[in-house]
Structure formats: structure tokens, C-alpha cells
A and B are shown apart, each in its own frame.
Chain A
Amino acid sequence: MMELICPAGTPAALKSAIDAGADAIYCGFNDETNARNFPGLNFSRDELRKGIALAHARGAKILVAINTFPRASAVEIWQRAVDDAVSAGADALILADIGLMDYAARRHPNQRLHVSVQAAAANPDAIAFYAETFGARRVVLPRVLSVPEIAEITRESACETEVFVFGGLCVMAEGRCSLSSYATGKSPNMQGVCSPPSHVAYEQTTEGTTSRLGGFTINRFGASEPAGYPTLCKGRFSTAQGAGYIFEDPVSLDATTLLKGLRDAGVTALKIEGRQRGRAYVESVVRHFRHALAALGSGSEADIASLKPFTEGQASTLGAYRKTWR
């Protein structure tokens, strides 16, 4: 049975995820060391310790994401996060930076390490590098791969593989994108934010709504159209070759219908994106995938309840997993 890995941005969401049937919950500290560094989100040291105690009492695991790239001259902030997560009893650390992995592997040789999607290990050679050099036990695969590619990588992989099945969809290689910092000065790699709310503005006119990020127009909506959040790579732009959603439509990933393929591919764990989302999201999405996995295990038809309310722009895609564009 594949493990279900669920997000928690707050202790309340963590408890909801456990109640809904998560095998493991991933979370981060409330600072720039994690890639969902939003105000009011994430865990203090004390909250993490309590969360781990609760999870362990309920038979669930806690994975701590320390997955931004440490700022030069401040590396010890990230190293301390590693030390504190280990001493709190984290079941695994999810790391992206090579220097930090090196530190964790030396300082805490018995600690289980996972390679974050931000590390962009997209093939068996890169995965083998992380497994051989740092003893990494699992790699979170980029969302740019198709199911057959995932199967091939997993077959050759020197460690377990984990894939995203639901939530926000990066169309660029994760951990290798500076679009957000080009427009706003804030980047996923450095500040743990992409297209941050602090740089978002909406302008209402009689013709509709214009959304901007860092002063750049990301989209324009008619008066009757719902105005979506201006995530940079999901915007509408104009080129000599035509205008529209040049990179990707404003959709979320939903791989519910691909679970069998992912299981047959040998994938160890399924990940739900969304540490920035509320309890209702966590509870509904986790429960949905718990049912789908149970149905998969018993060979019956999965009851695919609609997760539409939880998807971006109320639309979902199989993403790269089914490469219609190849």
C-alpha cells in the first residue's frame, strides 16, 4: 500500500490530517527555512514537538520540510532547524540544499533524509548521487514527469520515490525557477514564497478586474469572470504568436485516476500539496485519497468525489503525468 503524505500548515491541520487517515504529515518551522513561508503559518519548536508526539501516538509519521536554500552568512539558521527537527523526533527531514544535506548527513548520520522536489532530481543518475553521497532514502519527484517516466525512474532509483497527486502544479522545474523574484524580489528558493500576496494587486474597472504581481499584469477578467490569484506562470500573456495562457492554464493537479498506474510504477508515497491551505482542504482531500487508496487496495471502483472546490480556478489536470503535449 502506498503511503499518503499530507500537508499541515498548523497544529489544527495536522490533527485533521491524522483524523482523516494520513500515514505521514509534512510540515515546517515558522520561518524562512521552509518553502511555504506565509504569515501565520507553520510550526514553532514547541508545536512541532507536540505534533510529533500526537502523530506518533496515532501511528503517523512527521516529515519536516527544511527546503529553502540557506542564505549565505546565515546558514546556521537552517542548520539549527535541522538539529531541532532531529531532536524533536522527526521521522524524516525533507531537504533541498546540497550544503545542508551534507551537514545533516554528517551531524545526524542516523536521521532519515528525503530529497525535496526543490532539489530537482529528475532522473536516476541525479537520484543516485543523492543516495550515494548523503544516504538519502527517498526522493520527491518533480511534477514534470509522466507516469511511464516515473515507472522507469522508480525501477532504476537508488531510493524510494514520492510523487505529488494533488494541489498546486508547478510547470517549471521546481527549485530552478526565478520568475517570482524577477517580478517581486521574492523567490521560492530564497524566501520560500512564489508570487507572494504582499506583491499582488487587483484593479476593478467597469470592464472587469485586472490582477497584477509586482506591477506586472498577470491576468484580466471580464465583469462576469471570477478573478483568480495571479500566480505568475498561470497568467495570460501576449506574444507575436498569440495571446493566452502561454505556460499553463490556471489549473491544479489531480491524479486520482492515475493511482493504479503510480502503484504499478512502484511509487512508495503519494503527496498532497498545500501547507498553506486550511483544515477543510486538508480533511477533504486526505479523506478522498484515503478512500481512493482503499478502493484501489480492494480492487473496487474508486468513488471519485469531486475535489473541484479545492482546485485552482475550479479546474484540474493530470499535469505532466499524462503527457498530451509530448
Chain B
Amino acid sequence: MQLSLGPVLYNWAPERWRDFYFRIADEAPVDVVSVGEIVCSKRSPFFAPHLPAVVERLQNAGKQVLLGSLILVSLRRERRQTEELAAAEGVLVEVNDLTCLRVLAGRPHAIGPFVNIYNEASAAFHAARGARRICLPPELPLASVATIARAVPDVTIELFAFGRVPLAISARCYHARLHKLAKDNCRFVCEKDPDGLLLNTLEQQDFLAVNGVQTLSHSCANLLGDAGILRESNVGSLRLSPQDCDMVAVARTFRDVLDGRHDVAGGHRRLAAAYPGVPFSNGFLWAEPGHVYRGARPGAA
């Protein structure tokens, strides 16, 4: 079972972003790292200067690097940016919107969790057009995951296994709206919330997190206890999505449990210590509401 690190979804300070990846390169036991600003095209210029050094450091550390495409592409400059990305040589593009597919024209690529692949026919369609890795949409239940993985044995199937779960994308920026700013003059207020802006119900239930144009869960996906059954279901990779916490510790915990050096209960305790105060969830996998957490099952790793 591979471990992959998804792209940073939040608007971190550029130097901090760079140093985060340098540390991942040096210390985190992950096999694949997806990088690039995929949430908001306005943020991209901040990270672009650091991107070559980050990619080089990760590749020198033996990580496979994927370049993620924007989730929602509407403006002309976003289309141009996506087209340039899809034309990139020497690195695998992770497609997060179908806009890329025309330019890729059958060349090998990865598909991120923002492309709708709900069944084996869609997975086969993408596999035939060059998809080598597919990170499935987080809301898919295990039964669907297993069927899809069986149908495309040559494709590495990945699941979203740690981090706040991306639930929606909009053209509208909710950070800007909350700060009473227009999107075009947003002053990048989302940088104030490097782990997302928590959104509670009026009765103070934890519910969601806002990240600019993106809405995520308040809870943190945790499929650590499900890794055994996922392995049996031919899932080949688990994705860890960066939160404002020690992601090296998170990656080590997953690696240790996957390799049998730690049991699941101990792994959960380490994850809870690394990312305190945020409840876990895995309901989507078990065809329940996504916020639900069901503990480890028999046969789990």
C-alpha cells in the first residue's frame, strides 16, 4: 500500500509552504506527493516561485511528484494556466477538472478526487485515455471502491484517508463574503485560516470548514482502521491531505500501522495527538453520513 500526500488546500504563507514540502521530502515516508495550488487561481502566483525547488527536492528524495490542476476552471487565464500545466513534460499531471483531458490527449496522467468517477465504466473510460492513478471521490462507499478497483487492475486506486474532506467548490468565495469583500478584491483573507475557517451550526455543533471557494468537513477523514479491508479491496494508495499539524507524524503513523509496526488503536492515539481537537470520520466509506465515525472492524490492519 502506497502513501500519497495531497496538495496543500489552504492559503499558507509561501515560505512556510516551501519549508513544509522540504520537510516532507526529507522526513515523511510517503511515496507520492501532489503539489500545486488547486483551489484558487488567485493564490497561484505566491507559490509559483517556490514550485521548482519543491519539485526538485521531492524528486531527489525519491518521491513521485504530481502536478495538480485547478478544481474549477472558468476564467480565461485559468484555462490558459490549465492548458500549460497539462502540456507539462517530465511530470505526471493530476487532473482535477476535465478541462485538462483535451490537452492531455491520451498521455499518461493521474486523476484527483475532484473528478466524478462513481463506477467501473467511468474508471475504464479514463484508464483507456491514459489515467494511471485515480484518487476516487471521497463520498464513494467501499462497495463501489472495490468494484472500480477490480475493473481497472492496471490503475493505482487511491482513497482520501486523512484530512478535512473536500465537500464542495464554488465560483463564489465565502471567505471574501464573510469579510464583506468582493472576490476580485479579496485581500487574500483566507490566509488567516491555515486550517480552514470553522463553521458551526447555530446550536454550536461542529459542522464544516470554509477555505475560500472551497467547503470542507469539520471532521478529519481517518481510514487508518479501514486500511486492511481497503488493501483486500485492491486499493493501492492512501491519500493524506495536509492540515495545519505535524504531517510527518501523520505519515509515519500510517506507515507504521500499514507495515504492522503499530496496532490500529495505537495509531489512532498518535493521530489524535498529532491533530488534536478534531473528530475523525469515515462514514462515506461505510455508506453512512460522511461525518460519522465507525471504529475499526474485524480484519482491519
Contact = CB atoms under 8 A, between A and B. Distances in A.
Given A239-B200, A246-B177, A171 B119 contact: no
A238 B204 contact: yes
Contact of B118 (A70, A145, A183): A70
Interface in B78-121: 78-79, 82-83, 97-99, 101-103, 114, 116-121
Contacts of A190: 118, 139
Contacts of A218: 201
A309 B138 CA distance: 38
Residue in A102, A132, A246, A320 with the greatest tally of chain B CB atoms within 10 Å: A246
Interface in B176-212: 176-179, 182-184, 197-205, 207-208, 210
B143 A73 contact: yes
B300 interface: no
A144 B171 contact: yes
A237 B139 contact: no
Given A183-B291, A241-B178, A103 B99 contact: no
A239 B143 contact: no
Interface stretch (B33-41, B59-67, B237-245, B282-290): B282-290
Interface in A118-157: 119-126, 128-129, 132, 142, 144-145, 149, 152
A201 interface: no
A30 interface: no
A284 interface: no
Contacts of A74: 119
B148 interface: yes
B144 A173 contact: no
Interface in B115-148: 116-126, 137-140, 143-145, 147-148
A237 B207 contact: yes
A126 B97 contact: yes
Interface string A223-247: 0000000000101111111110011
Contacts of B289: 181-185, 214
Given A69-B116, A75-B120, A216 B205 contact: yes
A311 interface: no
A75 B119 CA distance: 7
A72 B144 contact: yes
A235 B198 CA distance: 15
Contacts of A75: 119-121
B196 to A, nearest CB: 10
Contacts of A126: 73, 97-99
B171 A145 contact: yes
Interface in A194-222: 210, 214-220
Contacts of A247: 170, 172, 174, 215
Contacts of B205: 215-217
B134 to A, nearest CB: 12
Given A175-B116, A182-B167, A71 B144 contact: yes
Contacts of B116: 69, 96-98, 119-120, 175-176, 189
A125 B73 contact: yes
B274 interface: no
Nearest to B121: A99
A243 B202 contact: yes
A42 interface: no
Nearest to A144: B171
B81 to A, nearest CB: 12
A125 B74 contact: no
B217 interface: yes
Contacts of B114: 176
B178 A70 contact: no
A178 interface: yes
B121 A122 contact: no
Contacts of A70: 118-119, 121-122
Contacts of B199: 237-239, 246
A8 interface: no
Contacts of B207: 216, 237
Contacts of B291: 182-183
Nearest to A199: B289
24 contacts: A71-B118, A72-B118, A73-B119, A97-B118, A97-B122, A99-B121, A103-B121, A119-B116, A125-B99, A129-B98, A129-B102, A152-B76, A176-B71, A176-B72, A179-B167, A185-B283, A189-B116, A189-B137, A189-B139, A190-B139, A239-B197, A247-B174, A325-B173, A325-B177
Given A125-B83, A183-B291, 9 more contacts: A99-B122, A128-B102, A144-B74, A178-B168, A190-B139, A215-B205, A236-B202, A247-B174, A320-B172
